[in-house]
Structure 1
């Protein structure tokens, strides 16, 4: 079977969002090398429209683009090569480690074992780190949490290990659902987390959440905001990420009538928004 190998020049901080997009286009594997993504796709699955779509995606990242493409024979495990680029790391109170790493857990850190399997949410990206850093001050014992757009399930697992009672996680991507189920088993929290395929329509408003986490891009947050709001208790906490600094005003405009802003942490051009729902 013939594959095309594409080398894409893109800053490391933008790589995970682009990988998520490319994965939806049937690319089979990824390698991350500093400011490059090397990715592969079956030659018969890549046409002019796919190249145009990638060009459109890259237009959002000035200065980035293709370096080269070449035809290769599928004689390697591309996914294994990509997995090997994922290293253990510390983020706030957490130590995130893939199962293939042998690194020891640092003292006083909470272990999150995450095998990404191409899903967004390895902990490398700013949007995930921003929420992980907020969680110790957000989660209280016995909280019920909703994790919108769960990705790898990393946030759901983190809140349970911080003392939350239960998490309801959902995602529209079948691969993410499968990956989340694998990761919650790895972390032995499968009895504490429900994972459902779908968007905000799968949330039951009968059991309102103490905390809702949504690491999703701006347009989706705006689209499902009314459902998220209806599912959150008065006095509950909403944490939004997946946002660029330029998205702040549009998000704050939908929060202003019902929420008090607690914090807006920033890492590079990415932000998270922590807000508390008004009691009255």
Structure 2
């Protein structure tokens, strides 16, 4: 599959907010640098209309925000890009590292080996770190877990390593499915993680989960919320991220969440994760 690589001129202070808007335009991955943001979208999803929309978004930010360059790249080059930026890191109870990093996991940590392709969910972004920080508080031994918009599969893998019995992970992008399947195998949890292409409709109506994880974006989460809650057990936990602080009130106003109680909200920079429980 071919991708369009865009280099956007935008000051550091506004990069996180811009990422949130580009996620809604179906951009897949981001690399933040000083004064610019590099992002990727599949060529088949990129058009003159989406390019014009990006220019409109950039115009809303202070300064001279613009598209610096545009080129077509192949997805197999992505690992080379990430090898220069993704490093091992401790996130709560987890030690997340790519296989090409020779770091040794601390003895009191849970190792997650994640080789990213174009997927959003490596531990490098705030929302993934927030979700990983909350997981030990919501996942119990024997749980059935849903991982909506799985990306690299990191949350499903982490849930299994915390003791969950099984995880159902899905995503709409082919590259994400391939990447999640690879990471599930690397972490030797392939017998307990089912990776499927599609959205919430791939889950049988009668299946209920102890824990549902959705690290996507505000609009997609809002669209999926009624179905997510429908699949939650009577004492189940729902954890949401991919959300900015400014999204919190909008999410809490959703009718689908009226049966749930907000247990905690955590924050890193401008991003938040919300933990709910049916009460």
> What range describes the TM-score normalised by the shorter chain of this pair?
0.7 to 0.9
Whether the 8 Å contact between 1:13 and 1:125 is mirrored in structure 2 is no
Map of 2:215 onto structure 1: 215
Shift of 1:79: 2.5
- Measure the CA separation in 2 of the matches of 1:200 and 1:42: 22
* Structure 1 residue 14: Cα displacement: 5.6
**Aligned residue in 1 for 2:144:** 144
Gapped regions of structure 1 (runs ≥ 5): none
CA distance in 2, matches of 1:42, 1:180: 18
TM-score (norm 1): 0.83
Q: Could you tell me which residue of structure 2 aligns to residue 102 of structure 1?
A: 102
Aligned to 2:269: 268
What is aligned with 1:128? Answer: 128
Question: Once the 2 structures are TM-superposed, how far is the Cα of residue 15 of structure 1 from its aligned partner?
Answer: 7.8
Does the residue aligned with 1:190 lie in a helix, a strand or coil?
coil
- Greater shift, 180-189 or 221-230, is seen at 221-230
Distance 1:59 1:270, change over 3 A: farther
1:28-107 aligned at under 5 Å gives the runs 32-38=32-38, 48-58=48-58, 62-63=62-63, 65-66=65-66, 68-69=68-69, 78-84=77-83, 85-107=85-107
Distance 1:41 1:229 in 2: 30
Question: Hey, what's the Cα distance between the residues in 1 that align with 2:38 and 2:57?
Answer: 16
Using the TM superposition, name which of 144-153 and 53-62 deviates more: 53-62
Listed as ranges, the gaps of 5+ residues in structure 2 are none
TM-superposed deviation, 1:17: 5.3
Equivalent residue of 2:131, what SS? helix
1:30–1:79 contact (8 Å) kept in structure 2: no
- C-alpha distance after superposition, 1:201-233 (max 9, x if no partner): 111232310000011111111111111111100
Deviation (angstroms), 1:194? 0.6
CA distance change for structure 1 residues 251 and 37 in 2, over 3 Å: closer, same or farther? closer
Distance 1:241 1:59 in 2: 27
- Cα drift, residue 252 of structure 1: 1.1
Match of 1:229 in 2: 229
RMSD: 3.2
Matched-pair contact (CA < 8 Å) for 1:6–1:66? no
* 1:86 Cα deviation after fit: 1.5
Total equivalences in the alignment: 270
> How far apart are 1:257 and its partner, in Å?
2.3
Larger Rg: 1
Contact persistence 2:139–2:164 (CA under 8 A): yes
> Which residue matches 1:175?
175
- What is the rounded CA distance, in whole Å, between the counterparts of 1:172 and 1:46 in structure 2? 17
- Take 2:107 and 2:242, find their aligned partners in 1: how far apart are those partners? 30
Q: CA deviation at 1:116?
A: 1.0
Question: How far apart, CA to CA, are the structure 2 residues paired with 1:134 and 1:42?
Answer: 31
Equivalence for 1:241: 241
Post-superposition offset of 1:46: 7.7
- Give me the whole-angstrom Cα distance separating, in 1, the residues matched to 2:142 and 2:208: 13
**Aligned counterparts of 2:48 and 2:70: Cα–Cα separation in 1:** 15
TM-score (norm 2): 0.83
**Structure 2 residue matching 1:118: 3-state secondary structure:** coil
